[in-house]
Amino acid sequence: MACDIAASAGRGEQRLQEIRRVLRSALLEAIAVAGLDSQDFAYVDTGDGCQLVAPAGLPKPRLLVPVLLGLSRRIRTHNRKAGPDTRLRVRAAVHAGEIRLDPLGTVSGVPFEALARLLESAPLRQATLAAPNGAPVAAILSPHFHEETVGHGYSGLDADAFTPADVRVKEYAARAWLWYPGSPVGPRVDPPPEAGADEHSVGPGPRAVEQLIQAGGRGTVFAVGRGNQYVHNDRS
């Protein structure tokens, strides 16, 4: 999993370090509450985010519903109490594939190329902009990850909670899937901020689904298990 904090630049060193600590803490807490052991994951700090590589045997749906939603809840709680310079909004991309982890903890592998393209994609940036006030996480799923998790009867992963989005970044082209808590089509897991709490909001108001797909990321990535990636040079 790789997380990227949106608009992290220009906050100053002290605030950047604080929001990095908040992200790490929120993510590890979400893992623990989901009944998982953080020691089974490889955590790599990327400066303004992280990569979290899950163990190959972990079922993919458990990363989306318990972990991603848990991360969202914890960042939302932080944002309600934080000042404008220490609030977070995180972009997330999710993919599965075979990666390498060396004894020093360095991770590598072709799947990270697809993850990087998903993080850079306009649809993910657009979803972040379109998210309702207080929705702190916007996610995009690769075709492979979506195919193996959504529509199989797992709780919280109904097919109509995801919006298709065509991603085309450099050599990568795929039909990916957008999803974020509180989106017009996504799971609604948290109550809206209380009236008069606008000072804690971290983004513009909700937009229509059509605007979400057409409107402008880097963000969070899950790299799990084994699978295929969808990379080709179709430029038509």
Q: For residue range 67-101, what is the model confidence (pLDDT) as tens digits?
A: 888 898 899 999 999 998 899 989 888 899 888 87
Whether residue 197 lies inside any domain: the answer is no
8: domain range?
Answer: 2-189+204-224
**What is the per-residue pLDDT for 226?**
30
pLDDT at 134: 64
| Nearest-angstrom CA–CA distance, 199 and 196 | 8
Report pLDDT for 181: 59
Number of H helices, E strands in the chain: 7, 10
Other Cβ atoms closer than 10 A to 100: 11
pLDDT score at 185: 54
Looking at the domain assignment, is residue 91 inside a domain? yes
- What would the pLDDT profile of 201-227 be if each residue is shown by its tens digit? 333 333 333 333 333 333 333 333 333
Q: In the numeric block, which tokens belong to residue 72?
A: 């969202």
Question: What letter does residue 159 receive in the DSSP assignment?
Answer: G
Quote the pLDDT of residue 210: 33
Amino acid letter, 195? A
DSSP 194: P
**Pair 219, 72: CB distance under 8 Å:** no
Q: What is the 3-state secondary structure (H, E, C) of 80-94?
A: HHCCCCCCCCEEEEE
Residue 33's domain is classified under what CATH number?
3.30.70.1230
Residue 216 resides in a domain: yes
**Residue 234 within any structural domain of the chain:** no
Name the domain count of the chain: 1
pTM of the model: 0.73
Q: Is residue 195 part of a domain?
A: no
With a CB cutoff of 8 Å and minimum separation 6, the contacts of 17 are none
Residue ranges of the chain with per-residue pLDDT less than 50: 188-236
199 in a structural domain: no
Handedness of CA 233, 113, 184, 133 (dihedral sign): negative
Residue 129 within any structural domain of the chain: yes
Strand partners for 138: 91
Give the three-class secondary structure for 100. Answer: strand
Burial of 128 (0-12, 13-18, 19+ CB in 10 A): buried
Residue type, 112: F
